[in-house]
Structure 1
Amino acid sequence: MAGREIDLARWERAEQFRFFRGFERPHYAITARVDVSTLMGLKPLVGLSPFRTLIHAVGAGLHAVPALRTRFRGERVTEYDRLTLSPTIPLENGDFRYTYLAWQPDRAAFDSHAAAKIAEIRAGAPLNANDGSLEDVAYLSCLPWLDYSALDNALPHADDCIPRVSWGKIVPRGDGHDVAMTLQVHHALVDGRQVGRFFEATADALASLS
């Protein structure tokens, strides 16, 4: 997808970028509780899929933060306009496959696209893992069996800068529902302020469902 290469000589983050690139373990993950009361209230009324709706909301959160759309290879740093979302799709036999969804702001249009792609994957497909050629992507996964408090991901190497978003079991909380959600990022590109903005934007997308 379209993107712009960042001029490191003018980039205000160049010093931090080079500093954290030297770390053996430059990734960190933050888990927060996300309110999904609106989603769970609408689900029986309009038949929303919690899985696909959360994928779309996560996409809104990622696209609200330029740092989460930024990738690097060597010294080349690119900020992409739009990401492909790659959630793991559970199969009935307990296995899983990857799919690739073109995120778009229109939730209904995205939901239709996602439903068709997920059905296609479940009908029979190989693992379909990213071979490293895709940069403008974010990895998503759902653990609906666990209301967890922290999560970490397997990472192939220190320069892997693709964000990973996970969420757990939706549980009752007070008069509504919430869910644990984790964002894992590369510190050369993303600081805590940007992680906070991601959670705010994701929560806003979920609160504005109709």
Structure 2
Amino acid sequence: MQKIDIENWHRKDYFEFFRHYDDPSFSLTADVDVTKLYQLIKEQNASFFLASLYLCQKAVNQIEAFKYRIRGKKIILHDRIDVGSTVLNEDNSFSFCYFKYVEPFRDFAGAANLQMQLLKEKQQKLNPQDDRDDLIHYTIIPWFSFRSFKHPRKNFQANSIPKIAFGKFTRETKMQMPISIDAHHGLMDGWHVGQFYQKFQQLLDSPAKHL
């Protein structure tokens, strides 16, 4: 982790401009092609949820803008960003579960499955970790596709953790899944989100190399 010198930071003007907005966040939604990932996961009898989460987080950690966080009047840059995701409980409520981003995928999936099992055994609802900002907040909506998505936020001006939502994939000529991203405009722009979608799609197009 490192502290950003805001006075000499290339985004100083944008940060100062957007930080005073009542709501400085912006949201974009686009489809990604998960055809090859789905085929591979089906062959391997693996978890589509964990595989897509892993590849998404791999893309996140390749983009510096997704690792900036606001702490008071400071901005810091994390070395690595982990996962905070909703998981479905047996009663159809949800809990928050936290996964450390590690490579390779088998290590990530093994640790993630253990965390979900522990959460199930504890029967712990929600389990927020508000003291952490080294995360991406994920919401998983597997029941329907969507064209836009709005995340609940508190303390808009200082809430700098990006949020990503996965929707239900649809099958036509190819399998597509909507991905919504909500981020602080003082820390990133549409170009950075475009870079994320591009990197994520590259990983989805060659899943056997990364899983």
TM-score by length of 2: 0.94
Correspondence 1:185 to 2:186 = no
Partner of 1:167: 166
Aligned to 2:96: 98
Native 8 Å contact 1:88 1:96 kept in 2: yes
State the partner residue of 2:126.
Answer: 127
Alignment partner, residue 39 of structure 1: 37
Tell me the secondary structure at the aligned position of residue 92 of structure 1. coil
Query: RMSD between aligned alpha carbons?
Result: 1.1
2:82: which partner in 1?
Answer: 84
Contact map agreement 1:85 1:100 (CA 8 A) in 2:
yes
How far apart in 1 are the matches of 2:90 and 2:16? Answer: 44
Contact preservation (8 Å) 1:135, 1:162: yes
More helix by share: 2
Q: Residues 40-75 of structure 1: CA distance to partner in whole angstroms, max 9, x if unpaired?
A: 111221112111111101101211110110001222
Q: Which residue of 1 aligns with 2:28?
A: 30
- Kept in 2, the 8 Å contact 1:37–1:178? The answer is yes
- Any gaps of 5 or more consecutive residues in structure 1? none
Q: Contact 1:5–1:78 (CA<8 Å) still a contact in 2?
A: yes
Partner of 1:114: 112
> What does residue 73 of structure 2 align with?
75
Counterpart CA distance in 2 for 1:128 and 1:60 is: 24
Q: Where does the alignment leave 5 or more consecutive residues of structure 2 unmatched?
A: none
Identity of aligned residues (%): 24
Establish whether residue 140 from structure 1 lines up as the match of residue 138 from structure 2. Answer: yes
The amino acid of 2:28's aligned partner reads I
Q: Distance in 2 between matches of 1:10 and 1:88?
A: 37
Instruction: Report the secondary structure of 2:6's partner residue.
Output: coil
Q: For 2:198 and 2:102, locate their aligned partners in 1 and report how far apart those are by CA, in whole Å.
A: 19
TM-score, length of structure 1 as denominator length: 0.94
Alignment partners' CA distance in 1, 2:41 and 2:56: 18
- Alignment partners' CA distance in 1, 2:120 and 2:168: 22
- 1:33 is paired with a residue whose SS is strand
The answer to whether the Cα contact below 8 Å between 2:94 and 2:125 also exists between their aligned partners in 1 is: no
Give the secondary structure class of the aligned counterpart of 1:86: strand
Secondary structure of the corresponding residue to residue 99 of structure 1: strand
SS in 1 for 2:207: coil
SS at structure 1 position matched to 2:106: helix
Deviation at 1:130, TM superposition (A): 2.1
Deviations 1:129-156 (A, max 9, x none): 122x111111001100111111010000
Tell me, yes or no, if the aligned pair for 1:39 and 1:48 is still in contact at 8 Å.
no
Aligned pair 1:150/2:148, yes or no? yes
In 2, Cα distance between equivalents of 1:87 and 1:165: 9
CA distance in structure 1 between the partners assigned to 2:41 and 2:6 by the alignment: 46
Query: What is the CA deviation profile of residues 15-57 of structure 1, one whole-angstrom value per residue up to 9, with x for unaligned ones?
Result: 1101000111111110000110111111221112111111101
Tell me how many residue pairs correspond in the alignment: 206
Query: 2:98, 2:42 → 1: CA distance?
Result: 28
